Amino acid sequence: MNFMFPIITLPQSADAFTRGQLYGQAAALQIRHSVLTYAKLFACCGIDWQEACVRAGRYAPVITALDAGLVAEMQGIADGSGWRLDDILALNCRTEILPSNFLSDDTFEAAAALEANRQAGLADWEMGLPIDPHIQDGECTAMCVQGRASIDGHTWFAQNWDWIGRQRQALVLLKTHNAQGRAMVTLTEAGMLAKIGMNAAGFALGLNILRSPGDGHAPGVPAHIVLRHLLDSDSIAHARERMAHMATLGFGAASNVPCADALGEVACFELAPAGWAELQPTNGVVLHTNHFLCDTLRAEQSPMGLALSSQPRLVTAEKHAAQQGLGFEKLQSFLRDESDGFFSICRSPDPALAPQGRVESVAGIVMNTHTRQIWIAPDVPSRVGFEEIKNLWV
């Protein structure tokens, strides 16, 4: 099988701006695809692209305070791909721009925002059709396994990324590095600095979207910037220190970050504008879907739609976690579980829904933090194999 996502390798000698510029040039088509996807998604929430960019621009100062190099890198992405900095910021702040009630059953007035986008030259990829409200029904399931609970003594990370199926065309595998030259690999939406990935130290992370009432109300560190900053960590302990530092700047919106390291540790870091908390493993395994699990943050949960599958998926995931001998084979089975139909851990697109509203498992990823190996299923995992990505660290 030929790996279907573009692999972009950035030179170790490049500075932040140049890294971004080369990334932007290499992924220009995919970045345009991302912009058109989110322009419509925001518009269907009543936010046109111009307003989304204005909102995103408010996060630039807090990102600069955290790491000015990340702003320089995003400026490079903008220059390389032919967009503005605020356009790239809007992609990296997508979680903060989405309304705090995005996962509820609320509806939004979209016509004016869609028309504003059309006037601005942003083509509607499903002309005249709103995004189906079922798009809000579920997003991402993750499992991290400590070495003491695995079949081989290694630490494992596994996640399906569930989202709009058309965004598969925007995914890239980015091989980049930090300012000191340490390698990092991330499967991300083009134009974003990071999503799911691992660094050369064997620290791995992912993302589950959460929603809280305070999302997007005041600038804080955006969720995808949190991911990029944490991806530079040496270990869970180091990531914990970085979370504490970012908390002094505040968080822009709610999310969960599942993590695993080469020392055998795993954790989930839940965050919201109200603060953050750490979910510890149970019997060597930590699981997460799309609702708060930490006691100190449960009150931050926004209303969830009646059809949202977060709790049922977690119950199904717990059955997989209770198995003995967790490792590559069983984690593949976990990510391919279709026992709950169209709301399963492995989610196939529902043909009864309009194409623009079909949520599916866009990709699955398994990582071994000890061997630094990454396997990716570049489609709904039940349909394709998990392919090992070769030559990651050269």
Distance CA 341, CA 329 (A): 22
Is residue 75 assigned to a domain? yes
Tell me how far the alpha carbon of residue 167 is from its chain's centroid: 12
DSSP state of 351: T
Same domain membership, residue 168 and residue 96: no
DSSP state of 229: H
Same domain membership, residue 214 and residue 187: yes
Same domain membership, residue 144 and residue 124: no
Is residue 394 assigned to a domain? no
Mean pLDDT of 148-166: 95
Is residue 5 assigned to a domain? no
- Residue 152's contacts (CB-CB under 8 Å, 6 or more residues apart) are 327
Res 308 pLDDT > 80:
no
Mean pLDDT of 186-205: 98
Same domain membership, residue 165 and residue 125: no
Domain boundary among 109, 133, 157: 133
Query: What per-residue confidence (pLDDT) applies to 205?
Result: 98
Using a pLDDT cut of 90, give the percent of the chain over it: 82
Is residue 98 assigned to a domain? yes
* Sequence-distant contacts of 116-123: CB under 8 A, at least 24 apart: 116/43, 116/48, 116/49, 116/50, 117/39, 117/40, 117/43, 117/48, 117/49, 120/48, 120/49, 120/50, 122/35, 122/36, 122/39, 122/49, 123/36
Query: How does pLDDT run across 10-24, given as a tens digit for each residue?
Result: 999 999 999 999 999
* Structural domain span for residue 159: 134-388
Same domain membership, residue 121 and residue 264: no
- The number of distinct structural domains making up the chain is 2
Query: How does pLDDT run across 336-356, given as a tens digit for each residue?
Result: 999 988 889 999 987 876 665
Is residue 3 assigned to a domain? no
Tell me the pLDDT band of 357, cut-offs 50, 70 and 90.
low
Pure H helices in the chain: 16-26, 28-43, 49-57, 60-66, 68-81, 85-92, 94-97, 111-119, 223-230, 236-249, 310-321, 328-335
Query: What per-residue confidence (pLDDT) applies to 3?
Result: 67
Please choose, from the candidates 195, 189, 229, the residue with its C-alpha nearest in 3D space to the C-alpha of residue 209.
195
- Residue 294's contacts (CB-CB under 8 Å, 6 or more residues apart) are 270, 277, 278, 279
Is residue 4 assigned to a domain? no
Domain boundary among 118, 133, 148: 133
pTM, full prediction: 0.95
Backbone dihedral angles phi then psi of residue 26, each to the nearest 5 degrees:
-70, -30
Is residue 1 assigned to a domain? no
Same domain membership, residue 146 and residue 79: no
Same domain membership, residue 186 and residue 275: yes
- CA angle (190, 369, 348) in 5-degree steps: 50
Distance CA 182, CA 184 (A): 7
Distance CA 272, CA 300 (A): 8
Same domain membership, residue 169 and residue 238: yes
Distance CA 256, CA 270 (A): 4
Is residue 378 assigned to a domain? yes
Res 198 pLDDT > 50:
yes
Query: What per-residue confidence (pLDDT) applies to 137?
Result: 52
The CATH number of residue 221's host domain is 3.60.60.10
Query: How does pLDDT run across 236-261, given as a tens digit for each residue?
Result: 999 999 999 999 999 999 999 999 99
Beta bridge partners of 145: 156, 285
Longest dimension (CA), the chain: 57
Same domain membership, residue 152 and residue 58: no
Residue matched to tokens 């390698």: 183
What is the four-CA torsion angle of 173, 175, 179, 180, rounded to 10 degrees? 140
Q: CA neighbours within 13 Å on the CB side: how many for 170?
A: 21
Same domain membership, residue 282 and residue 348: yes
Tell me the pLDDT band of 103, cut-offs 50, 70 and 90.
low
Tell me the pLDDT band of 102, cut-offs 50, 70 and 90.
confident
Domain boundary among 111, 133, 155: 133
What average pLDDT is seen over the chain?
93
Query: Which of 55-69, 95-109, 111-125, 295-309 ranks highest by mean pLDDT?
Result: 55-69
Tell me the pLDDT band of 131, cut-offs 50, 70 and 90.
low
Tell me the pLDDT band of 86, cut-offs 50, 70 and 90.
very high
Beta bridge partners of 271: 255, 276
Same domain membership, residue 124 and residue 271: no
Same domain membership, residue 20 and residue 143: no
Query: How does pLDDT run across 38-51, given as a tens digit for each residue?
Result: 999 999 889 999 99
